[in-house]
Amino acid sequence: MATETSVNYDRTKELKQFDDTKTGVKGLVDAGILNIPKIFVRPAEDLAADELNSSQKTIEVPIIDLSNIGESIRRKEIINEVKIASGEWGFFQVINHGIPLSVLDEMIEGIRSFNEQHLELKKEMYSRDSAKKVKFNSNFDLYTSKTADWRDTLQLTFLDSEPDPSQMPPVCRKSTMEYFKHMKRLGEALFELLSEALGLQPDHLNSIGCSKGCSIVTHYYPPCPQPKLTLGVRKHADPGILTVLLQNHMGGLQVLHDGQWFDVHPTRGGLVINVGDLLQVLSNDKFNSVKHRATANHVGPRISVPCFFSGHASLHDKSFGPIKELISEANPPRYKEFLLKEYIAKFLSSSLDNKPPKDYYKM
């Protein structure tokens, strides 16, 4: 078996064959496969490490209730909860955030409909062109990663403008436009809370463009015949500023905390918030961007919709580094300043499981 692996296995050829189908992972499932292709199988040492980490855990990622946020005493409590969660976990869930359940449900349903529509309509949108703002594919880093992930993705990028409805797939156009509108408002509210949690003026992070420009990246994880051998998303930290994640009831998201994987259980109406690498840099390590992943599952589909806030396109030529007000003799900068466009280029030319771009700028 080992000789066949080393001599006859042509990984590049298998990657290209998979990519050329333009049908993604769902295409494999629809074809009735019983064994997953080798490009999706994780290295033996990764699988062995997971066996050591399967203990039962009772503590959970913090859930923060945003109701009555306008009342000054309650607001102070919420800011304190955000500060602790962002520093200790890098993750929290928010409930009572003001976005109607119907908007969340319709967004999930729209993404399901896109992935389950007639194959030819989906194939028309399949692309690896980085300049395309709206595209469908499987694994943005398919050719650079060690292992492919068990998921398909519809990406909607609006870094410097409002989304153009005509570019959206008709099947999820209305629900996505509505969701985007609510995300922008929630993003601004969260950046106010995070600013105050850092001891800054409420408008600080919004005023430097943190809530401007976001990408909605929708993932569809079909049921997997051998879920123990692969992952929905490999271990990684998000490179942007902040991520707001909507997920359906399936679960599968895990956060690395104190060297252990913790499940982030879906909460009806809840949204998962996590600190990105750029917010860790801005906060000079007061907030933590942590590694997370999604497991594969026998049943499905799992649907998740991360909204990545990565700063307005106008920021890309500006130098970026820890916020000056957070630096002192007692607390010197932990990162060198860098150009955001250089940072983004590093991320895009790498794979999800490589060294994160922020590590290049550590002091």
Mind listing the pLDDT tens digit for each residue in 8-39?
789 999 999 999 999 999 999 999 999 999 99
Q: What is the pLDDT of residue 152?
A: 98
Query: Omega before 62 cis (within 30°)?
Result: no
Q: How confident is the model at residue 214 (pLDDT cuts 50, 70, 90)?
A: confident
Helix (H, G, I), strand (E, B) or coil at 361: helix
Helix (H, G, I), strand (E, B) or coil at 157: strand
Q: How confident is the model at residue 322 (pLDDT cuts 50, 70, 90)?
A: very high
303: tokens are: 């649907």
Burial-class residue 321 by CB neighbours within 10 Å (0-12, 13-18, 19+): middle
Contacts of 52 (CB under 8 A, 6+ apart): none
Mind listing the pLDDT tens digit for each residue in 252-302?
999 999 989 999 999 999 999 999 999 999 999 999 999 999 999 999 899
For the chain, first and last CA: distance in Å? 47
Can you state the percent helix, strand and coil of the chain, rounding each to 5?
40, 20, 40
In angstroms, the CA 323 to CA 151 distance is 36
Q: What is the pLDDT of residue 352?
A: 62
Mind listing the pLDDT tens digit for each residue in 325-342?
999 999 999 999 998 888
Least confident of 230-234, 292-296, 317-321, 325-329: 317-321
Mind listing the pLDDT tens digit for each residue in 134-178?
999 999 999 988 999 999 999 988 765 677 788 889 999 999 999
Residue count of the chain: 363
Helix (H, G, I), strand (E, B) or coil at 158: strand
Is the predicted pLDDT of residue 250 greater than 80, yes or no? yes
Q: What is the pLDDT of residue 189?
A: 97
Average pLDDT over residues 53-70: 84
Query: How do 152-158 and 214-221 pair as beta strands?
Result: antiparallel
Q: What is the pLDDT of residue 7?
A: 57
Q: How confident is the model at residue 4 (pLDDT cuts 50, 70, 90)?
A: very low
Q: How confident is the model at residue 131 (pLDDT cuts 50, 70, 90)?
A: confident
Name which residue leads in pLDDT, 149 or 360: 149
* Domain spans in the chain, listed from the N-terminal domain onward: 42-361
User: What CATH number does domain 42-361 carry, 2.40.70.10, 2.60.120.10, 2.60.120.330, 2.40.40.20?
Assistant: 2.60.120.330
Name which residue leads in pLDDT, 158 or 127: 127
